[in-house]
Structure 1
């Protein structure tokens, strides 16, 4: 017998908590896969013969397709059935995980990661919309969303440690293969625990052109930044790519203005605090993965720590980000968003600068510890401020759109941050990587490039500081009270919001 649609039921679905556990496990996998790869990057680089410019696409391809298509597939799920769309995304996630693990070349792995990001863009918003639809009581829904946010934070931070453990014990392929049995079990339980639901009041239109342009624009920017050291920043190729990116993003604005069912209604940007919060989240994304990518290369390529050792070291930053998130949550209701954002960005910038003097003959305690101790709380505090600002004053009927938008900007920032620091490292250190995966130049050249990458993180923080000072309100957001709970996803480090 087919389960009744949620909107036809008279009362709460008795399966709702089991469904939350099922969907939460799927969401945990999606978030885990955004960060678990970081610790395995040097091993992948060696085994598949990636160049430094090439290996960053393992992260960037996932982040860009995830970010660019998330809003589109959330809309698709509302129109065509949330369970159906979720199961489609989950099946694709399993298939792409198999392809990632079986990848026999760098090109195949990057392509498989792009498909994996696409499947994550289907699963994440669809799963959350099912949770919201199943929990009709507001108190229960808040508890469910608290659990959901906690899973996001744990998944992102656990990825760094689990990635090191799995890579050292089983090999890098298994960070992808472990998704397969878990995904198949979830897929089998979906028809049993998840009712079908859709938005029957919505017009059956969706903005494919908007989804394509918002994905293609950042992709062109990332590619332009990555190839610039080789072609030259003033070359016709680089200028042409940047020009194409600007045209595509302008086309996105035009499409959204003319669309009957826009992916992102432009009226939402009349809210100055929302704009400031999203731009701040973009800079947080730039900084966090812009720092973690060179950090894993420094720890494993320069200092020769194992993947597991790096995962354990990064726990320092994770713990401090949680401290910063809770401190930010406590202070934002008293001081307002702007002071917390300013303080957080100053700490992120200081953390980046503390990593600039890294030495080719250094150690974790001497070269990494201080930077991580300072960067962590800055990340947590900035995340709190950005998320509150981005959701402040948004009408209830547009809260889902605002939440999806802030997640999208964070992931776009992550992708562009990795691309930018990679380009800087290549230009500053003259870093290339031979087919064997070993640095073609001296370790000192790699170290110099990574040092410049850390300095770039401080530049990202300076951009965030400008946003905080000129776009965020000096007053407390109108909808933040002393009892307001900041979503637990603010503890995220190196992953999606």
Structure 2
């Protein structure tokens, strides 16, 4: 290996350094801001569309512009964090995200809104991997790492539901523009705190030259993939542009892998994803997100359209899921991660989430929130929180310090691509089942009220049909976690040396 890319072992901060825990507060705040933004704008979209005169055909770009920039640039953002330093990338990401949010809140035209959302995605792609990689290099003691990633995992898993609550409040009681402006104080507080308290350990920066061909191929490949799924949702899977996007993404990503095998300083060192456990984590996380993203959308529409909930009431209806995620991540995952192998948390966690999803296949127009939706959400939250926590930690554990940013970016990439796939795939399944139900039952409904009832029944039937697929996807995620993830021995944490070797450092298991 060349001198330019070989680094000394990662310096470990003293165990008593309280600054790391203060830093965690601001890193978590920044992560919450990014995760919130994935759902908070969805609640405000109808109001924004009306005020800005955005057509029905173009409204998808409010979501798509963000998804394309964020998903396409994550690997690049992760490597920039490795090159420039994670604290610097973190602060730049916060500043850019705040500026883009202010621009979105002040938008006067649809084009201005689309541009602001794309800029949010660009700076989010720098901020998200920098935040996760900061945790990876700052928390190296097994017990402290478990607690830190427990908090981070709860935010990563539950932040989307919190976004629905906050988005409902801001839209209903203030104005849709505040779903953008709210990011500015978040970013200012996080940046000010990070400036003073984050002390990034020395010795982990990657000063290798940037892999420009890798940047171009990965960005174009991921953008094509995300856009292909986004377009499939609106234009169908047989649409010529949809098919061409999928073909282009396969060609570009295959070319990216070939390039990474040959260049001296690759954008994504294949050793990061070739590790069996880490590959299993990326894959199972992506599958879990496929199931969860579709569920958020279905339940939001079910509660508002079928049950007649207001945006605020809908947001509060998701609180049990958020509480379950926080409990699963901080009380189950964090406490058990230093005692049992990760697969014994991730596998049962995804299986428990699948059980909660299974309950929702029984969804009907008259279903009770207390007897069906509440227990299902609690199970989903507990399961996902328990699984997310060790997944977030192990995805960056054991990587060389110079690869921490790009390993963190892969976590976010699997989630972002999973979200795009889940929304498109499950929406398509639901729409097809709904159309088929209406076709089979509308003939027997002669009066207008009966026809309206059939349409509502068809909508719920479509949701429950798609949720069956989500159950299967979560079951596969559980199976992958059980069979592929073989890292995370109790009482030991793997640390990477500068030469790429991994050493197991024994850690005493202390009862909580």
Match of 1:455 among 457, 465, 480: 465
Q: State the match for 2:125 in structure 1.
A: 121
TM-superposed CA distance for 1:251, in Å, is 2.2
The farther-off stretch of 314-323 and 381-390 is 381-390
2:378 equivalent to 1:373: yes
2:284 equivalent to 1:286: no
User: Taking structure 1 as reference, are residues 196 and 462 closer, same or farther at Cα in structure 2, changes over 3 Å only?
Assistant: closer
Q: State the match for 1:492 in structure 2.
A: none
The farther-off stretch of 355-364 and 29-38 is 355-364
**What value does the CA root-mean-square deviation take over the aligned residues?**
4.4
The farther-off stretch of 50-59 and 102-111 is 50-59
TM-superposed CA distance for 1:311, in Å, is 1.3
Q: Describe the superposition over 1:363-390 as per-residue Cα deviations: whole angstroms up to 9, x where unpaired.
A: 5346633432332233223324644664
Preserved contact between residue 49 and residue 55 of structure 2 (Cα < 8 Å) = yes
User: Taking structure 1 as reference, are residues 453 and 177 closer, same or farther at Cα in structure 2, changes over 3 Å only?
Assistant: same
Structure 2: distance between partners of 1:38 and 1:288: 16
Preserved contact between residue 53 and residue 422 of structure 1 (Cα < 8 Å) = no
Structure 2: distance between partners of 1:189 and 1:230: 42
Q: TM-score, normalised by structure 1?
A: 0.75
Q: Describe the superposition over 1:406-446 as per-residue Cα deviations: whole angstroms up to 9, x where unpaired.
A: 23212221222123233334444359xxxxxxxxx958546
2:317 equivalent to 1:308: no
2:349 equivalent to 1:344: yes
Q: Describe the superposition over 1:285-323 as per-residue Cα deviations: whole angstroms up to 9, x where unpaired.
A: 111112102211221233221111111110111222344
2:296 equivalent to 1:296: no
- Report matched runs for 1:63-462 at 5 Å: 63-104=67-108, 108-127=112-131, 155-156=159-160, 158-184=162-188, 202-228=206-232, 232-325=236-329, 326-327=331-332, 336-338=341-343, 340-360=345-365, 364-365=369-370, 368-384=373-389, 386-387=391-392, 390=395, 398=403, 401-429=406-434, 445=455, 448-449=458-459, 451-462=461-472
Q: State the match for 1:465 in structure 2.
A: 475
TM-superposed CA distance for 1:92, in Å, is 1.8
Preserved contact between residue 93 and residue 123 of structure 2 (Cα < 8 Å) = yes
Q: State the match for 1:481 in structure 2.
A: 490
Structure 2: distance between partners of 1:132 and 1:35: 26
User: Taking structure 1 as reference, are residues 331 and 248 closer, same or farther at Cα in structure 2, changes over 3 Å only?
Assistant: same
**How many residue pairs align between the two structures?**
468
Structure 1: distance between partners of 2:318 and 2:430: 21
Unaligned runs of 5+ in 2: 1-9, 437-450, 495-512
Preserved contact between residue 136 and residue 404 of structure 2 (Cα < 8 Å) = no
The farther-off stretch of 282-291 and 227-236 is 227-236
Q: TM-score, normalised by structure 2?
A: 0.73
TM-superposed CA distance for 1:447, in Å, is 6.0
1:418 is paired with a residue of what secondary structure? helix
Preserved contact between residue 349 and residue 478 of structure 2 (Cα < 8 Å) = no
